[in-house]
Amino acid sequence: MSDSSGGPSAHADDDEEVVLVARGIATAVAPEDGITDAQIGLLGSVTAALTGIDVDYAGLEPIGPDELARALAARPDAYRHRIVHHMVLGELVLRPLPTAVSFRVAQYAEALGVRDDFVRVARRFAQGAYGLAWMDLQRNGFADHVRGAVDPSALDTGRSTPHVAPDPFEAHVDPEVADRWHGFEELDEATLGRRVWEMYDARGFEMPGTPGGAPAYLAQHDFVHVLADYGTNLPGELEVFALIARADPDPKGFAWLATLFGLFETGFIADTGFFVRDHDGGRHADAPGMGARIADAIRRGKSVCESNQRDLFEVDFYRVAPLPVSEVREMLGIPPKGDRALCAGSPGTFDLDGMSAHQREVVAQRRGGHG
């Protein structure tokens, strides 16, 4: 059930192992009163999206960490690592997160031979040490992963050594970057750059390089919004970062999804410095259809990983901005949305349902009140 990228991938006789892994995940993440509906929906959707096998996570026979580890001993490290990440994802939908669950997941990770900083992050959440959890994410997820991040505005300048951004999450006023983004307006309508410009312009977003604009590094994910056809409201952000996280061949890419859950789903993290929490007490992962949408994004990210073995934040989107969206999708190996996500109502980038209330208001104003 493994493949070169690690993680579940179903074949004809994999049903037994898929259920075995599901039993391990369910046993690890279930609170004292039993696994929750939110966990059942999300984890079941992830399993179905990645393996093609439907598993009902309710009522699965428990399996201990040592027994699971023995059964998976021959599997590669990357495969077992992704399983632990699914356990952490199953933890992060709990609010509050019981310390017993975080301790149990740590036991499973240890038995599987996986040393992963996100297991500790979840434990911090369970202990209520949210500041320490964010520090751990900074030190062991984002900071390590993006340290030395290439400045995307300097990727195609012909330098022998790409320019390294001093702080990839800090916005800077940069006329050259601003000119690049404003220049996308002049591209043909079907191109990636023009569609990203339209996404910004319709919603009233400030362009990178201008006052109030996003950092050029973080703005890389906006190209993925268009390529993957995801909205820009909170559910859409969860989808796009689920895809980005799984597309990254480095397991530390999981930091994107873990942090987005901490920000928008659980409210554990108050402010990352580049996204500000917009958590109003509502739940997104257990909203109708969201489990299927997040799972499908993970499936699509896995396909991208298999095609590219490259962090999407390191793609030179400026170079491919003049190309048609369809061509860049094919180049990066981004598959279409799956039927389950579409049936669950995953809106596209330019659908009103994929926008926040404020974004819809801006669109309506720019359409003269006819949005």
pTM attached to this predicted model: 0.83
Q: Give the C-alpha distances (Å, rounded to integers) separating 210 from 174, 180, 182, 205, 233.
A: 7, 11, 10, 10, 22
Q: Give the C-alpha distances (Å, rounded to integers) separating 265 from 7, 8, 137, 290, 362.
A: 24, 25, 16, 11, 25
- pLDDT-derived band at 118 (thresholds 50, 70, 90) equals confident
User: For the segment 56-80, what is each residue's pLDDT rounded down to a tens digit?
Assistant: 999 899 999 999 999 999 999 999 9
- pLDDT-derived band at 287 (thresholds 50, 70, 90) equals confident
- pLDDT-derived band at 94 (thresholds 50, 70, 90) equals confident
First-last CA distance in the chain? 48
pLDDT exceeding 70 applies to what percent of the chain? Answer: 75
Q: Where are the domains of the chain?
A: 15-128, 152-366
Q: How far apart are CA 164 and CA 161, in angstroms?
A: 9
**CB contact set of 192 (below 8 Å; sequence gap of 6+):** 223, 226, 227, 317, 320, 321, 322, 323, 324, 325, 328
Four-residue CA torsion sign, 149, 129, 91, 121? positive
The tokens describing 153, both together, are 């505005």
The amino acid present at 347, given as its one-letter code, is P
